[in-house]
Chains A and B, each alone.
Chain A
């Protein structure tokens, strides 16, 4: 089982390697990837250095080109594919039909993984991408229960990758437009959800208010931890009851599912967080490396260590974690 870790910068990438990642995924410095944030990602010399560094250490480089090409920007997506290949990417992570078509025709030998942004959640969709674009692996959206993941693993011949840890996206990825509804920018069109440029936090008489494009997402009392106003994690009013109508600020953590994931033949576990710090990458990679090694040694006696969970909670959104959709009760 491959441990696939995120890197938004060279220091993060080096930490991932030092702590035992088998592969690292990155994005290019433009809107061709779904973490298009200022000060993040790779271009030019840095890209080449990242590839060299990983290959010198016997690790693989995955490059995410996982947004959808704009009608007047097609060359940018083509160029991203060419640049990634020329700089030694081992694998491209793609979502757009047109980009998949371009990459699989121009580079028939290239290893292509289907991005979570393509939202393939069932056998027919997986067959579609296998048959038409020869994808070798599918990254599953965070909407499936562990039972459904196992069913898919039995019914498909493609490699499957699942999200193991990180920010919990509660909607089928690639099919959520809540962010553009509120701000005009979404993961699909702009490579970002709840973009920072629309965020405003203000101390008021009623408490600390966090807003996205002027919409009140949440209001915190002095004893509460204020979080980033991700729009699906605010407290809203449904016919008189104020609560986290969609989801609480929380992170996904699947450590305890590791034996089941390993047993059903999941090829890779992915750590979310290209936008996070090198210290986050270091901490999360270290814990997951230990857990995977322990589980591989003796999966029947594997149990998730309290120290691991505490370590992960410390870097989690809202300092709490969840099994998300893997756990049927969450749904």
Chain B
């Protein structure tokens, strides 16, 4: 199993981002994803900063991937996307088909991110033709669903043409909206958001009126209310999953990476009673199968 650190989904100050990647370079992760995927107003690191950070980290033993925005609306956002897709050598994670369009035009390979709707071997086959080399499964899919897709890929003769990555730790991106829910939670309109996301380094927890954790507000993104954690499901990933992704919450996520590695064959199970893993088990995502 290889491990990746996903892009930071929250809005952190620049120095914190840089510190995180310095530590991440010392970690055992094989793949690092960088870049802003949620909101174009988050510019602690600007386009050129992300590109130069990516270049700086590349060639030092880890695969560096630039991850792109999931919801693109304004022409300026499309222009930024094109700048990333036109870069020389850094691999791109496409989180919108707009990125696939640019990368295909440039004849560049890509990672199809979890926000690309791909639910069957036939869609995968289409993405392969366009240049996909790694597929990050949509977060709502299960082990059963993955197994069926990969059986289908065997039949189509494409099983060995791409890697499979599964988001295995962190709060799941579940929805994208025009509305900024963090700004709304502070009673601010989006256009005067005061970049308030920076005050919530892990988003804002939203509970039911009975205190049940339901969602995390992260700007225009709505995340799972509980941390998704497949650490104890790693043995069942053998033969199906090539890369397990951990979504960074803080530097502590690097400790989780080691816990994952230590439990690959089930030898060091972890206590996860506050987390969820339902999607992997083909039940409601918020559930925890033990």
The answer to whether A124 touches B98 (Cβ under 8 A) is yes
Select the stretch in A9-17, A33-41, A113-121 that faces chain B. Answer: A113-121
The answer to whether the Cβ of A238 comes within 8 Å of any Cβ in the partner chain is: yes
**What's the least CB distance linking B148 to chain A, in Å?**
4
Contacts A98-B122, A247-B179, A331-B190 given; indicate if A176 touches B174 (C-beta within 8 A).
yes
Within 8 A of A (CB), among B263-290: 278-279, 282-286
Note all chain B residues with C-beta closer than 8 A to A325. Answer: 177-179
Closest residue on chain A to residue B276 by CB atoms: A181
The answer to whether B178 touches A331 (Cβ under 8 A) is yes
The answer to whether the Cβ of A180 comes within 8 Å of any Cβ in the partner chain is: yes
The answer to whether B284 touches A180 (Cβ under 8 A) is yes
In the complex the two chains form, what is the Cα distance from A236 to B216 in whole Å?
11
The answer to whether the Cβ of B53 comes within 8 Å of any Cβ in the partner chain is: no
In the complex the two chains form, what is the Cα distance from A52 to B279 in whole Å?
43
The answer to whether B208 touches A123 (Cβ under 8 A) is no
Give the one of A70, A97, A131, A145 with max B CB within 10 A: A97
Note all chain B residues with C-beta closer than 8 A to A175. Answer: 70-71, 115, 117, 175-176
Note all chain A residues with C-beta closer than 8 A to B74. Answer: 148, 151
The answer to whether the Cβ of B14 comes within 8 Å of any Cβ in the partner chain is: no
The answer to whether the Cβ of A316 comes within 8 Å of any Cβ in the partner chain is: no
Within 8 A of A (CB), among B174-228: 174-181, 184-185, 189-191, 204-212, 214-215, 217, 222, 224
Q: Identify the A interface with B (CB < 8 A).
A: 68-72, 74, 95-98, 101-102, 117-125, 127-129, 131-132, 142-145, 148, 151, 155, 170-172, 174-178, 180-184, 186, 188-189, 213, 215-219, 232, 234-239, 241-242, 245-247, 325, 328-331
Query: Interface size for chain B: under 10, 10 to 19, 20 to 34, or 35 or more residues?
Result: 35 or more
The secondary-structure label for the interface of chain A is: mixed
The answer to whether B178 touches A184 (Cβ under 8 A) is no
Note all chain B residues with C-beta closer than 8 A to A96. Answer: 117, 119-120, 123
The answer to whether B209 touches A97 (Cβ under 8 A) is no
Closest residue on chain B to residue A213 by CB atoms: B284
Select the stretch in B55-63, B75-83, B239-247 that faces chain A. Answer: B75-83
Note all chain B residues with C-beta closer than 8 A to A232. Answer: 175
